[in-house]
Amino acid sequence: MQIDKTTYNDLALFSHEEEFSVFHKINFTRTNGGKEWLRWMMNEPTGDLNKIIDTQNIIRLILSCINHWPASVTNGTMMMIDKFYDTQLDPIPRSNDIFSIQAYRTFHSVDFGLIRYSVTHFRDFIVGLQQIALLIEAPEASPRLQLFASRIRSLLLHQPLQELANKKAGEKFSPKEILYFGHFFKQSFKSRYEELAEIYYQLDAWYSMAKAVQQYQLTFPTFVVTDEPYIKADKIYHILLPKPVSYDIQLSPSSNFLFLTGANMAGKSTFIKSLGIAVFLAHLGMGVPAKHLELSLFDGVLSNINVEDNIMKGESYFFNEVQRIKKTILTINNGKKWLVLIDELFKGTNVQDAMRCSLAVINGLIKIKSSLFILSTHLYEIGDEIKDHPNISFKFFETNISNDKLEFSYQLKDGISNDRLGYFILKHEKVVELLEGL
């Protein structure tokens, strides 16, 4: 499934301020390597239903045993082992006689200390992988998990590894054992460790997804096998909000264009992003923030939400709005299924010009039946011009004034808003009063 950089930014899937991103929200990885695997997975949403279902099954299996998932493999464990392999240690003696052991401890004390700490972390890593292999080798497990379980067992089939795994957590190693295991790991295990580490990192990313499903009570979506675009969402909400409001929405070829109106702060942008994020997560194989989501596979998600000007290139806000719409038209005019999210068209020009431009865009996009569109606007008058299109539905977010205060219900209602609240807000915030006092 295609998602461009602009859409990633619009939906805050990643963010420079990472704590405000979807990635940060679902990142429960325990290692840096797992975090990078999760980042890679989020950059690879797929339109292949078999891959999506396979990932769903992987997450479900990990979810079923998540309370037994070993905590012994930490980022500190992996960093310590990596340091062991990156450090130029003085040759570790093969001989286990007392003289060789004492000589290494005396004349190579720094290296001996590193080996001692590393062996403990190797033990934690190996025991953790053995426990994971037991958890993921269930008969109902995904072929990928069964392959990983088999590969873990194969790579750990070494006598020294079995001896190390039999050491109890917290049990001290003798100097003889430290050098025995240290020599083995330095001379015979590096390539196996690198493969095992990559397996663990990928499992760590899936564990993170499963943990997010558990933590936020996400639900797995149902995909409808159809050549036509379709979404039916019950109680869908924005995953980044601490107290989100949920919505119900349905889009299909017979009603594939949603014309959305409402005042600023009423909830239009949040609603648009909620749907985009849910469709994105669904195509990762993740659970989604909704009571139920039923949808077709999409070939891509394309947004036009946070357009900016470019001073360095001398490009105005309006020019970049036009360029984004142009790219949208060229991208989706291929007969494939796209979800197109447009928030506030043509804010960079005057009202009359914006209305004319918006009508031209809507009357053109409405011809594309292979995609679904949500378009929000303050230009309520456009509704009268497009109401005869059978495949446009009209929704709005209501705003009320009570005791001289704005009240937002954040409820999606049928129809077109007639709110005109700009001057009220200006007056309520005492800007009018300040201006009159000048």
Q: What is the mean pLDDT of residues 357-377?
A: 93
Instruction: Give the number of C-alpha atoms closer than 13 A to the C-alpha of residue 93, restricted to the C-beta side.
Output: 17
More confident residue, 354 or 208: 208
pLDDT tens figures, 395-426: 998 877 667 676 777 888 899 887 766 666 66
pLDDT tens figures, 161-197: 999 999 888 889 999 999 999 999 999 999 999 999 9
pLDDT tens figures, 74-130: 999 999 999 999 999 999 988 778 888 999 999 999 999 999 999 999 999 999 999
Q: How far apart are CA 356 and CA 364, in angstroms?
A: 12
Q: How far apart are CA 282 and CA 47, in angstroms?
A: 10
Q: Residue with structure tokens 């750990």?
A: 156
Total residues found in the chain within this entry: 438
Strands 222-224, 300-304: pairing kind: unpaired
Q: How far apart are CA 131 and CA 154, in angstroms?
A: 14
Q: Which residues, 6+ apart, have CB-to-CB distance to 210 below 8 Å?
A: 59, 60, 62, 63, 66
Q: Quick one: pLDDT at residue 313?
A: 46
Phi-psi region for residue 415, left (φ > 0), alpha (ψ -120 to 50) or beta? Answer: left
Q: What is the mean pLDDT of residues 224-228?
A: 94
Q: Quick one: pLDDT at residue 307?
A: 65
pLDDT band at 58 (very low <50, low <70, confident <90, very high): very high
Flag whether the pTM goes above 0.75.
Answer: yes
Look at residue 72 and tell me whether its pLDDT is greater than 80: yes
Closest CA to 131 of 53, 209, 73: 73
Q: How far apart are CA 294 and CA 275, in angstroms?
A: 12
Look at residue 433 and tell me whether its pLDDT is greater than 80: no
- Ranges of beta strands (E only) in 305-419 are 338-343, 372-377, 392-402, 405-414
Question: Residue 269 corresponds to which amino acid?
Answer: S
Tokens representing residue 377 in the block: 């606007």
pLDDT band at 429 (very low <50, low <70, confident <90, very high): low
Look at residue 39 and tell me whether its pLDDT is greater than 70: yes
Structural domains in the chain?
Answer: 31-216 (no CATH), 222-436 (3.40.50.300)
Write down the mean pLDDT value for the chain: 90
Q: Quick one: pLDDT at residue 198?
A: 98
Q: How far apart are CA 70 and CA 5, in angstroms?
A: 36
Look at residue 55 and tell me whether its pLDDT is greater than 90: yes
Report the alpha-carbon angle 44-45-50, nearest 5: 115
pLDDT tens figures, 383-392: 889 988 999 9
pLDDT band at 378 (very low <50, low <70, confident <90, very high): confident
Q: How far apart are CA 52 and CA 54, in angstroms?
A: 5
Helix (H, G, I), strand (E, B) or coil at 234: strand
- In the structure, how many helices (H) and strands (E) does the chain have? 17, 11
Tokens representing residue 424 in the block: 């009220």
